[in-house]
Structure formats: structure tokens, C-alpha cells
Structure 1
Amino acid sequence: MPLRPSSLATFKRPLYLWNLMIRDSTNNGFFTETLKIYTSMAHSGVHGNTFTYPLLLKACANLNSISLGTMLHGHVLKLGFQGDIFVQTALVDMYSKCALVACARNVFDEMPQRSIVSWNAMISAYSRGSSMNQALSLLKEMWVLRYEPSSSTFVSILSGFSKNLNSFNSLCQGMSMHCCLIKLGLLYSEVSLANSLMSMYVQFSKMGEANKFFDSMDEKSTISWTIIMGGYVKVGRAVEAFSLFNQMQKQSIDIDFVVFLNIIFGCIQVGELFLASSVHSLVLKCGCSEEDSIENLLITMYAKCGNLTSARMIFDLIVDKNILSWTSMIAGYAHSGNPEKALDLFRRLVRTDIRPNGATLATVLSACADLGSLSIGQEIEEYIFLNGLELDQQVQTSLIHMYSKCGSIKKAREVFEKMTGKDLAVWTSMINSYAIHGMGKEAISLFRKMTIAEQIVPDAVVYTSILLACSHSGLVEDGLKYFKSMQKEFGIAPTVEHYTCLVDLLGRVGQLDLALDIIQGMPLEAQAQSWAPFLSACRIHGNVELGELAAVKLLELSPGKSANYVLMANLYTSLGKWKEAQRMRKLIDGKGLVKESGWSQVEINGRFHMFAAGNQSRVQLDNIYKTLEDLNFTLQEGS
């Protein structure tokens, strides 16, 4: 921003007074004001000294203003301060924070003398840019020249390793830094350093190492507790995070809104309403409820716990709603099986002055997909183009998903083929579209193109889609091959979804014995999800013996699930064993279970009509049955 001299320029002040004003302004975080004071000072004919320029360069670094920073560099050269160690170090730091690492290195190389702070500034520049080889090379050079690294040196390096999460080498190098800290006796010298080391382990999801280190810390700050709690939430172990939170309360440690963010994320994972309500009460008690991020997460938390009424109440109480508030509530409806309400809220949003972003539109498209409404989906696509969001990859990925779920694989493919710079999520969405349409060969062909031609590394999610494609198309050999390759070639451990797809694949083609062997070799968690598709396969292929085995296992694992009794009843019915089928259905009533009615939905002229099994209440029922009879008669005549 252009800086105008203030009225300060009309008074002739000595340099030390200007420096005091610059120091106070910078230390209080008024960085723009700092630069205005300097402009006034220059207009009054007073030149800065070696005390002035480090403060000014700090202001430029915090404002990320490279234009003003280079201007000050020119002033430094003109006034002959290029040999001053404090000014030069401030220049290195300024260029580093403005992401001009090469310029920072040029200044560093030209320094006639350096301090430990100078070395740290340059190492921090490389670490901030994730150039860890250069950072480590500089660390070695510093050591050779007998500059002993400080805790600040290692804080920068450890934070750099934490950014390279896809590199196993980064973790090894980070662990070697841990050894260096032990050797130098710096491990517990400062809480900030201990936190950085623990944070590195957390970022790599090494919670065992992080927790050992946390337990060994004599001095812990609120940040220490926040890091370890956030780590447990990150790896899906919310119970441990709640335990730590209880310890914090018992030890009367200050709890800030970041702690509550982690705890609310934990509640979202667990999905227990009583726990969520308790956390909400604490948030209100501590006065953190009006933080924007907290309010939006509370909406998501209640929606995940199935309490949309409370979620909507929080949403309605927010006076200054932003796009995150709207998106959180729309997502709450969309992900809780209420796509109509999600779309209604979106229509309210577009009538306000707040503009939807990519995340909002992706959520709305997901609601259209769940509703199966191609017409509304096309309206949303028109809105996307009118508002210039058609290049957003999250939106495009959701468009592919929406069109495929609404039955238009052709439109999904058109969106996919028009896209440039496709990421893994885009490829996965298209592969999954082929999978749910039973186009297994097309899915496999696209997967090969992604991994071989585009050299994109697959993840667990895209392998689920490939196995689903093989299952729906009966491609047994391909399914078995990909199930093995994901482990052997990419080190992806099979999840419940992978096991379930594999069992479904083998069951569909009648290889029940092989499917049974695979189920019995699975972890218990995966077994619980795999017996149901196995029982369905037993019904299709008329294998009562294995079906009864599957039913026993299912009823042991989920005795309160009526669908399991229905599956077994259907198996008996398919084989004409009416008494056994009746016995299963009586068990549903005897245990007080409720069987959900099957239902379907059609869209006609923008209106949705739902039909539930056994429902005789529709006015047009006679006409519907008459039309079905006519269609049946026509089909019989044609055959």
C-alpha cells in the first residue's frame, strides 16, 4: 500500500525519538504504522541507523511486502549499512518470510561476519520452503565453522520436516535431529523446542513416540497439550484425546479455543450426543462459543450426532453468518440424509449477499446426487458457470459424482475429459462412476492410465473403487490381482471396505468357499462388515449350510439389526423353506425389532414422489397398478 507521511513530519525530532516510536509501533504489531512513521521521518530529513532498519525490515516481513522491503534494502546500501550484522540478518529474515529464498541466500553469502542468529535465519528460510537438503547442508557447515546450533535452529528444521509428510526420509532425518538434541543436551532446554519435536512425530502419525516424549516433559505448556490431543484426534483415537482433556481440567491448565477445536473434532469422530452436549456446555462456560471456527464446528458436531435441531439452532443464532456457517449447516443436512433441506438452505443462501464457494457447491452437488435429481444438478451446474467456479477441482469432482449417481455417465465423462491438471480425487471420482455403473473394464483402463501414463500414486480410496468395479462386473482375477498389488506395490493395508468388496466379488460369482476363507482370515472389525454380503451371496447361490453359518455370525455380532434376520428369511424363502423363513420373521417381532420399509423415489416435473413398500395411501394408486398391468401385458405379448 502507498504510504503517506503523517503530521509527524512537521516536527523536527531527533533520531532517537523516531526510533522509539518505530520500536513501540513494531513491538505492538502496528506494522503499517511503523512504515508510515519511517516515511514521515524520511520527509523530515532524518536518516535511520542500525537500530532503525532491523525494525523496519521486520515490519515488511510481517506485512509480506517485498516491494517496500527491497526499497529499504536500497536505503541500507545507500547509507552503507551492508556490513552491519543486525541489518543484514534482518534482510535475510525479510526475504525469507517473503518467500524469496535465493535473495536471502545472496545477502547471507555477502555478509562479512555472521552470528548464530544469521545462520538460524538462513536455515529457517530453507526449512520454510521445505528445502531440507539445503537446510541440513547449512547446519553441517555451521557446525564445521564452530557455530553451535541453538534451540531455535532445531525448531526451524523440525518444522520443515513436518511439512514433508509423504517422505519416509524426512521422518528418518527428523529422528536423527532428535538424537542430535539428546547429544547436545538441548532436548528439554525450551518448551518450544520440545513442542516442535513432538509436533513432528504427531504430523507423521507416530503417536507412540509423541506420547513417550510428552510424558517425559517436565514442563508442559497449553500448546504441548494441544499438540498431543490434536495428534490423537488426527489418527482417529478421540478417546485418548478426551482422557488428556480431563487431565488438563484436573491440573487446572489454561484451556483455549484451539483445545476446544480438537475436542469438538473428537466429538465429530465419536458421534455421541451426550458427550457433544457436555463439550458444548464447557465451550459456553469458557466464553469461546462466539469464535467463528468454534460455532461452525458445533454445527457439524451436532449434525454428526444426529441432532439437526440443535445444529440449526446454533446456525440461526449466529448474527453475522459467513460462508463457512452456511456451508456447515448445508453439509449437516446433506450428510444426514436430508438432501431436500440442504437444497432449500442453499436457495436461501443465494438470495443473500454471501457468495457460495467451491466447498459449498460441492456439498450441494452431493445433495443432488443423493436425491438423484438430474434437473436440479444441471441448475447448479449453470449457477457454477455463471459465477466462474467451473475450474474449481473440488466442484468438478462433485459434478462427476453427481452426474454418475443421477444415471448420466456420459455427462460425467464429458466433465472429466474437459478437465486439466487432474488430481487423484478427480481420477477416483471417474473410476468410481464407472464402478457403480458396472463398467469394470473402463474403470480398470482408467486406473492403468492414471498410474502408468500419469504416474499418479493411488491411495486406499481409489483401490476401493477398483475393487467395487471388479465386483460389479464379475472380474475375479482382476479383483484378486488389485487386492494383492495395493499391499505389495504401494504398502496400502486393506480396510474394511476393501475386504467387503473382495467378499462381495467372490460371492457374486459363486466362489463361496474362497470368500469364507478370506473372511475367516480378516481382522474381527472387517469380519463384522463382510458376513452380510456373504449371506446375500449364499441366498443367490442357494447354499443354506454356509448361509446358516453366516447368519449365526451376524446375529452374534449385531443381534439388534433386523436386516440380518431378513437376509436369512430371504434365503429360506428362495429355497421354499417357508417354516424356517416364518421363524426368522417372528424373531424380528419377538425381539422388538423394527424392519425399515423399502422405498423408491421418482422425480416428475421437478417434484419428488416417494413410494414405500406396503403403503396404500397414495391417491393415484389405482392408476399406478393399472399402468403396471398394461406394461406387463405388453411385455408378455412382445415375448
Structure 2
Amino acid sequence: MYTFFGKTEEAWSVFSNLSKPNSFAWSAIISAYAKLGQIDEVFKLYTCMQNSTSELDGHGFTAVLQACSISSDIQWGRKVHNHIIESGWDKDIFVGSTLIDMYSSCRCVADAHAVFDRLPRGNLVTWSALMKGYAQLNQVNKVIEIYKQMRQQGLDPDEVTFIGILKASSSSVFGDAQQIHADIVERGFEQSLWVSNALIHFYVRCDDLVLASGIFNKMPEQGPVAYSTLMAGYTQCNQGHQALQLYERSQKHLVEADAAILVCTLKACISLTDLDYGERIHSCIIDCGFEDNMAIGSTVIDFYAKCGDLSDAQRHFLRLPTQNIVTWNALITGYSQQENKEMVLQLFDQLQAGGLSPDSVTLGAILKTCSNIGTLENSRCIHIDLVKRGLDVDNSISNALIDTYAKHGRIAEAHIIFNSLLNKDIVAWSSLIGGYIQHGQCDEAFQLFESVQLEGLRPDPVMFACILKACCSSRDLEQGRQLNAEIVCGGWEEDVFLGNALVDMYAKCGNLEDACRVLCKLEDRSTVGWNSLISGYLDHGDSQEALRLFKKMGAQGVDKNIVTYICCLKACSNLAALEHGRHIHRCMINEGYEMDVVAGSTLINMYSNCGSLEDAQILLQRLIRRNTVAWSALISGHAQHNEYYAALRCFQQMEEEGFKPDNIAFLCLLSACSGNPCLVDEGCRHFKSMLHDHHVQPSIEHYNSMVQIFGHADRLNLAEDLVETIPFQTNSTTWTSLLNACKRHGNVLLGRRCFDQLIRIDPENAAGHILMAGVYTQVGMLENARELEELRRHSNGWKKPAKAFIEIDNEVHSFVVGDQAHPRSSDIQGKIISLNMQMMKESYQPCTETVVDTVTFPDKAATLCGHSERLAIAFGLISTAQGTTIRVSKNLRMCLDCHQATKFISKLEMREIIVADTYCVHHFDDGECSCQYDHSL
């Protein structure tokens, strides 16, 4: 009686008073201690019993074997097994099935099978025990094989057997499991609550929510277990909304919200980052009295942390009666995701000071923090500690280490850990692939991805997104299309995360049509996808479409973030679309983005490129946190406007505010010198100061700027000497800068040397051919110019099509050379003819030298009149009121004739005309240009 109620002291008192305990008494006392998990006492009593004259019965042997199972003590287990054989209990079904359990728990499944083979085969208990043994070792195929053998023996499985098989089954035996499902239906067990729960759980593990929900809906009565299991399935498959709908359904049907349901609901809120709904669930948890429950407490902390409310996460953490490793992990992981290194390491110290040992989750979060913030030394220290403690075999920690080493470019070290893994899961492969991609080794990443598939592993959305980045980096459109097909086959086409990655891949590879197609197919077209598409159009030279998409986002109610605004500001800058830029600026003020340093710098660039330096200067002064980037943006703006001394003042003010000039700031300052041939000495002084006073190492871009400065000032010998001493591999910009100077100053011999070098680097470089033809034209070598033009055409050196843009009434209009597609084309042509006639009276002569085609002078003059910037200016003149400033942007450099003609037009029309080309921002007013010099290609 005492043993039944677990009162071991009273039971021992009675037992010790027995003069000669019999088998029943020994079995009873041993069973009592075994039930309470007092393993050492069980083994002591068993030894005492052996020294007596008594024997154990089947119940006693079963109790001792259970103690061996709990302690995984195979030596004791074998000793007891020998005793069982000697006592003749080895053929007993219940003792035999416990022996099978004991050997399985000790991972000796071959011994378990040997015991099974010696037992009578007609009992379901022993078959179930053997299947359970193989299931414990995750040998699912063996479980199915034994099930089939059992069926061949004519034995009918019961509910317990079916539940055990379903718990063991995974997606690798999906077909066999469906046959078992058919057996369940055939025997009428589908109506069993526990069997239905096991079926739902199996299909959830296989991510087949259609079949899982089908079984759920067929259940005569859905209990809390069924609800929580299906809700967990929806959440793990990124269907948090369905999980919350299921929770609402449970409340409607008055199903009691137990701890498991509430945890699943909170996890759905975490997946959706739904703070409001989660707070409602937290209130329910408090009302139900579950707040002190450790499992729920850790989920509540996790919820607040992952929704970004770390103060509430910490407050709830401190309110818990006790904190265990799970609750500590929830809080540390939250701060890790916010990349708050100081707090993560502080909590880590507190955890250890409190006597708790960090587990794999803790150390994984610490390693992730170190990986994200670039502290390799901390990661190394943790790794050494892990090795000392023998924890480095844990997959989650190993994966975090692989990720850390790979992100820091230590691919060899990442590989050593990767190769040491016995079970290389998708996370490990993804971490290694991500490292290769981050460090530009895309071919190696593709090879690893192939290895994943050869290993029979199924890539998950994270891995697909990762390898799609490699396609972006390598511009491998074909590989990207193949991955798209695999994603569709895997049923992930509607996944927002993957959809956005596909949009980004197609956009970066220049296939904007497919990028649009993928985005349109997504049910949830998020800001990220729109940003990728806008960025794609921007990168491929279609700033107009980028702005159209921005408007479309607004019309569809899609939220915009700082990335959206920065991309669209760049588009406005490219188009000199000042009104669009001002509208976007107002939106940014409303959403609190204006004071962001990156956004502020982009705004300064936009205003500068649109010809509104005053706005750019005001904006810099308004920035609360100015830095070198913001100052450099304004210095660059002054350089674009050929305002060297204003640029220099900005540079000096930046230093006075305590900001150290970097390589970009110096590049902007040198650029300001390159527009004026009188500033050679200043340019040289800044170049030397950069190296000797500020210890900033010059890059190829700085040397190219110096070549441009010397070239513009007709110091071609100095420019050539500098090119020959550059400590870097020269690039096409180097030789283009020098060749342009040769064209300006008519140096044929040096020009030809530059051209030969340029063509060696880039045989299809159209700009090189055009510049060299210009050199020949400049000195009257027209036949050579024509031959070079023919050579360009035959070598596929296609000119970049010239485009000009103008913003009228909040709409951007574009023009190409000889454009007649514009609705007001006839009015534009009329204005150009009228202007030409007036300019001729003012002694204007077309600069036809830039037209190398063998056509007559009038034809050449007509060609020049059809240049894109001339058309845009004419359209601006006929579309705006007298006195309105005309702003035009061009994607190439203005030709000499258009530059001269625009001077005349500004005087005749009494207008300020601003033209932003790839060289500078020209301010034409009263017949003069702010650049003061001829800028010709």
C-alpha cells in the first residue's frame, strides 16, 4: 500500500522489519524507488536482493530495467539481462518488451532486436516496443519495415501502435505514412482523438497543412491539442494569419485556451510582428493565471523582444519568480536581433554570475551578435571556451560559428567546422554559401548549392534567397531563372521573402519585365519588393520609370521606407526633377526621415544636381548630426557647379567642426579643381596634403582626378608622366581623361597612344572611338576620323543613346536625338527654327566639327539642332511662363555646339537655363555659362 502511494520511508520501515522478504516484497520496494527515480537506491536494493536467498518476479525485473533505461547504464542492463535469463523470465512478454526498451534507451538497438527475435511473435506489445526502439534512434525506415512485417504476421495494430509509428514518421517516408493513414481509416481509428492528433502532428511536420487541416475538420470534436498542433504548423509555415484565425475559431467554439494554445498564438504574433494582438493574448495569459509558467513566460519575453519592445521584454523577465536558461535565452536573443552588443554581453555575464551555464541557444545568440557587429575576437574566445567544454558538436553552435567565420572571410576556418559536422543541415550549408557570396566567390557558392542537392537535402527559402544573391552579384540570369523554376516546383512562389529575392535578382540582372511579373504575382507586395524594382530601373538608367513606380506605390497604399525615398531622390537627381524631389522631401519630413544622415546626404546631392545649391546648403545646416558624408555631398555639389572656393570653404568648415576628411571628401575637392585650368597648383597641394597631412592613401580615382586637372590645364606631359607612375592598374577612366585632354588641345600623337591603351582595356569602348575621332577632326584629319567611326561600328562599339529630361507641371518628359514622338513635336521644331534664325543674326555659327559623318554642312547643322538637350530646352521655353528657370538633365556630356547655342538662347530668351550633364551643372544666364570654359567631347 505504501509503495503504491510513493511513501518510501514507511514502505522501507515495513520492509526492513520483515525477517525474510519474499519475491513480492523485494519487487514492491524496488518498484517504489524506481517510480520515484531514485536510481542508486534501486541498484543498491537489487544488489542486496541478489545476496539474499530470494528472487525477483517479473514486476521487480521490469522496475530494475526501467532504472537502467533512465540512467542509460548498459553495464547494469546487461547484468540484469543475464539474471533474467538465469531466472527464466526472458520469455515473458512484458519483461521482454522492457528489455527491448532498455537496450533502445542505451542506443543498443541490435541487442534490442536480438531480444525481440527470442520472444514469441504473436504479441503486439513486443512489436510496438521494437518499433519504439528504432524510432528513438530516428531510424524511420526500419520502423516502417517492422510495421509491414507485423502486418504480414497477421497482427492488427491498435491505437498505441499507430500513434507510435506516426510520431516516428517524417517526410522521408511520406508515401508509407499515407498507407498507414489508410490503414487507420480502414480500422476506424480516425475518429480516435489521440490518433487524429498524431496524424495532424505528422502532416504538420511534413508541412502539408492541407491534409492536416482536412483531418482537423473531420474530427468529431477538436480539443486543445489539435488546435495548438495545427496553429503551430501554420506559424512554422509563415502563415501566422491562419494561426490567429484558428485561435479565434477555438474561442468561438468555447475550447479552453490552455498553455499550449496561448504559446502558439503568441508565436503567430511573433511571426507577424503583431504587437497589438500579442498584447491581447498576454492579457489572456494573466487572466488565466499562466504568467508564472516558465514556458509561457519565455514566450512572452520572446514576443516583446522580437516585436522590438525590449523594455517590456526585460520588465516581464524581471517579474518572473525564477529565471531559467530558456527565459535568459529569450531576452539575450531579443537584444542580439537588435544588434545591441553591450546589452547582450552584459546579460551573458549576469547569466553566468547567477550560476547558470549557457547552452547552445545562448552561445548561438552571442556568436550571432559578434558575427553581425564584426567582432571576430569575441567569437574566437567563445569558440575556444566551447571546445574546452565539449559543446562545439552542437549543430546550432557549429552553424553560428560557421556563419561568424564565413562573414569575416575566414572561409578555411568555417570549412573546418563545417566538415566536422556529422549532420550537415540546411542552416550549415546556407551559412557557408552566404560567406562565399559575401566575399565575392559566387562560383564556389554555386558549387556548394549543387552539393546540397546531390546530398538529397531540400533547399529552404533562406537558402534559395541566399543563392539568389549570388545570381545578383554575378549577374547570372540563367542560373536565376533555373532557381525560379525550382522555387515554383517547391510551392514557394507565393512566399513574400522569396518573391522579394526573385524581384531583386531579376532587377539586378536587368530583366525588369520578369521582375515586374514576379512582384505582380505576389499577394503581399511589400515595400522590399517595390524597392528592389525601383532600384532596378534606377540602376539600368530608367529614372522616369522609378518615379512612376513611386507614384504607383502611393496609389496602392504601400508603405514607403527610407530606402524607397533614397532611391527616388537619386532618380530625381538624374532627371533634374526638382519639384518631384521637393515633394519627396516633404514626405520624408512627415515621416521623420529628414534628419537621417544618409537621407540628408542624398537630399543634398539631389538639390545640387537640380541646380539648387541654396537648398542644399540650408539642408546641411538643418542636419542635427552632420558627418563627413554630408559635408562631402555639399563639397561635391559646389564642385559640380564649378565653385572651387565655395567647395574649399566647406572642406575647411568640415575640419573646423572636428570631422576628419576621408578619401571621398578629398576626391570631391580634387573634382572642384579639375574644372578650372588655373587651379593646378591647388589640386597638387590637396593631393599632397591628403597623403602627408591626413594620411589618406590615394586610390585610382584620386590619380584620375589629377590626370584630369593636368589635362585641362594643357600640362599633358605631366599628365602622361603621372599615368605612367600610378601605383595601380590603370582603368578606362584614366585613359579617357587623358584622351579628352588631347582632344581639347589637339595632341594627335599622345591621343593615339591613349586610344590604343583604352582599346586594349575595352575593345568595344564607344567613348574612346568618339574622342579619338574628335582629336582627328580637331586637326583637320577628317578621313582618319571617318575611318575610326567605321571601325567603331564594326567593333560593336555602340554609342550610349543620348537622352535629355525636363520636368514640366510635375511630369518628367524625355527626349532622344531627332525625337519626333513627343505630342508637341511640331511646336518644338518651330521653336528651334525660330531660335536658330535669331541666333544666326547674333553671329552664332554651328560647331559642325563634332559631326564626323560624310554629310553636307546644312545636314550637319540640322543634326545638331535635333540634339536631345536642344529639344528639351525648346520644349521648356514653349511650356513655361517668361522668366521661369529651365532645368534640363542629360545622361551624357553636352557637345560644344549645344553648349554654345544654349548661351545664345539664355540671352535671347532672357532665361536662366540649368543643364546638368555628366561633367557638371551648367548655369546659363545672359549669354554666359557658369563653367566659363568650353566643355566638349
TM value normalised by structure 2: 0.54
Instruction: Rate the CA distance shift 1:562–1:213 in 2: closer, same or farther, 3 A.
Output: same
Secondary structure, aligned partner of 1:420: coil
1:130 alignment partner in structure 2? 342
1:266 is aligned, of 464, 470, 474, to: 470
Q: After the TM superposition, which of the residue ranges 235-244 and 440-449 deviates more from structure 2? A: 440-449
1:171 is aligned, of 357, 372, 376, to: 376
Offset at 1:276? 2.6
1:480-506 Cα offsets, whole Å, 9 max, x none, are 566677678888776554443343333
2:642 alignment partner in structure 1? 438
Offset at 1:93? 5.5
**Structure 2 residue identity aligned to 1:39:** I
1:158 is aligned, of 367, 370, 394, to: 367
Query: CA contact under 8 A between 1:130 and 1:163: conserved in structure 2?
Result: no
| Percentage identity across paired residues of the two chains | 25
1:426 alignment partner in structure 2? 630
1:3 alignment partner in structure 2? none
Instruction: Rate the CA distance shift 1:174–1:546 in 2: closer, same or farther, 3 A.
Output: farther
* Residue correspondence of structure 1 range 422-501 to structure 2 within 5 A: 422-450=626-654, 453-455=657-659, 458=662, 461-473=664-676, 475-476=679-680, 479=683, 497-501=701-705
Asked if residue 61 in structure 1 is aligned to residue 309 in structure 2, the reply is: no
1:247-289 Cα offsets, whole Å, 9 max, x none, are 2222223311111212222222222332332222222222222
1:530 alignment partner in structure 2? 734
**Structure 2 residue identity aligned to 1:278:** Q
Q: After the TM superposition, which of the residue ranges 259-268 and 133-142 deviates more from structure 2? A: 133-142
**Structure 2 residue identity aligned to 1:130:** E
**Structure 2 residue identity aligned to 1:378:** R
Instruction: Rate the CA distance shift 1:323–1:547 in 2: closer, same or farther, 3 A.
Output: same
Q: After the TM superposition, which of the residue ranges 618-627 and 190-199 deviates more from structure 2? A: 618-627
Query: CA contact under 8 A between 1:57 and 1:69: conserved in structure 2?
Result: no
Instruction: Rate the CA distance shift 1:158–1:349 in 2: closer, same or farther, 3 A.
Output: closer
Distance in 2 (alpha carbons) for counterparts of 1:482 and 1:289? 55
1:267-325 Cα offsets, whole Å, 9 max, x none, are 22222332332222222222222221322232232222222221222222233323333
* Residue correspondence of structure 1 range 103-122 to structure 2 within 5 A: none
**Structure 1 residue identity aligned to 2:510:** G
Distance in 1 (alpha carbons) for counterparts of 2:797 and 2:725? 31
Offset at 1:570? 0.9
Secondary structure, aligned partner of 2:620: helix
Asked if residue 330 in structure 1 is aligned to residue 330 in structure 2, the reply is: no
Distance in 2 (alpha carbons) for counterparts of 1:127 and 1:321? 27
Asked if residue 404 in structure 1 is aligned to residue 404 in structure 2, the reply is: no
Secondary structure, aligned partner of 1:412: helix
2:786 alignment partner in structure 1? 582
Instruction: Rate the CA distance shift 1:575–1:203 in 2: closer, same or farther, 3 A.
Output: same
Instruction: Rate the CA distance shift 1:519–1:392 in 2: closer, same or farther, 3 A.
Output: same
2:480 alignment partner in structure 1? 276
Distance in 2 (alpha carbons) for counterparts of 1:252 and 1:480? 62
Query: CA contact under 8 A between 1:373 and 1:406: conserved in structure 2?
Result: yes
**Structure 2 residue identity aligned to 1:231:** G
Distance in 2 (alpha carbons) for counterparts of 1:612 and 1:87? 70
**Structure 2 residue identity aligned to 1:359:** V
Offset at 1:579? 3.0
Offset at 1:539? 1.9
2:286 is aligned, of 3, 18, 39, to: 39
Distance in 2 (alpha carbons) for counterparts of 1:71 and 1:610? 59
Asked if residue 627 in structure 1 is aligned to residue 835 in structure 2, the reply is: yes
Secondary structure, aligned partner of 2:675: helix
Query: CA contact under 8 A between 2:743 and 2:774: conserved in structure 1?
Result: yes
Distance in 1 (alpha carbons) for counterparts of 2:802 and 2:331? 64
**Structure 1 residue identity aligned to 2:475:** G
Instruction: Rate the CA distance shift 1:125–1:328 in 2: closer, same or farther, 3 A.
Output: closer
Secondary structure, aligned partner of 1:422: coil
**Structure 2 residue identity aligned to 1:527:** N
**Structure 1 residue identity aligned to 2:449:** F
**Structure 1 residue identity aligned to 2:636:** N
Instruction: Rate the CA distance shift 1:562–1:347 in 2: closer, same or farther, 3 A.
Output: same
Instruction: Rate the CA distance shift 1:70–1:176 in 2: closer, same or farther, 3 A.
Output: closer
Offset at 1:558? 1.6
Bigger Rg, which one = 2
Instruction: Rate the CA distance shift 1:139–1:186 in 2: closer, same or farther, 3 A.
Output: farther
Distance in 2 (alpha carbons) for counterparts of 1:448 and 1:214? 52
1:206-254 Cα offsets, whole Å, 9 max, x none, are 4454455545655432112212222232233333322222222222233
Distance in 1 (alpha carbons) for counterparts of 2:830 and 2:283? 81
Instruction: Rate the CA distance shift 1:371–1:320 in 2: closer, same or farther, 3 A.
Output: same
Instruction: Rate the CA distance shift 1:453–1:292 in 2: closer, same or farther, 3 A.
Output: same
Distance in 2 (alpha carbons) for counterparts of 1:311 and 1:133? 42
1:22 alignment partner in structure 2? 259
Distance in 2 (alpha carbons) for counterparts of 1:489 and 1:152? 49
Query: CA contact under 8 A between 2:544 and 2:812: conserved in structure 1?
Result: no
Distance in 2 (alpha carbons) for counterparts of 1:98 and 1:594? 54
RMSD (Å) for aligned C-alpha atoms:
4.4
Q: After the TM superposition, which of the residue ranges 629-638 and 414-423 deviates more from structure 2? A: 629-638
Distance in 1 (alpha carbons) for counterparts of 2:283 and 2:351? 38
Unaligned regions of 5+ residues in structure 1, if any?
Answer: 1-5, 12-16, 77-85, 100-123
Secondary structure, aligned partner of 1:130: helix
Unaligned regions of 5+ residues in structure 2, if any?
Answer: 1-249, 270-277, 845-903, 908-926, 928-937
**Structure 1 residue identity aligned to 2:301:** A
Distance in 2 (alpha carbons) for counterparts of 1:128 and 1:87? 21
Distance in 1 (alpha carbons) for counterparts of 2:621 and 2:569? 19
**Structure 1 residue identity aligned to 2:575:** L
2:452 is aligned, of 248, 251, 260, to: 248
Query: CA contact under 8 A between 2:636 and 2:672: conserved in structure 1?
Result: yes
1:237 is aligned, of 418, 441, 458, to: 441
**Structure 2 residue identity aligned to 1:625:** I
Offset at 1:383? 4.6
Query: CA contact under 8 A between 1:128 and 1:156: conserved in structure 2?
Result: no
**Structure 2 residue identity aligned to 1:547:** G
TM value normalised by structure 1: 0.76
Query: CA contact under 8 A between 2:301 and 2:317: conserved in structure 1?
Result: no
1:317 alignment partner in structure 2? 521
2:106 alignment partner in structure 1? none
Offset at 1:179? 4.8
Secondary structure, aligned partner of 1:559: coil
Instruction: Rate the CA distance shift 1:129–1:623 in 2: closer, same or farther, 3 A.
Output: closer
Offset at 1:513? 4.1
Offset at 1:552? 1.0
**Structure 2 residue identity aligned to 1:247:** S
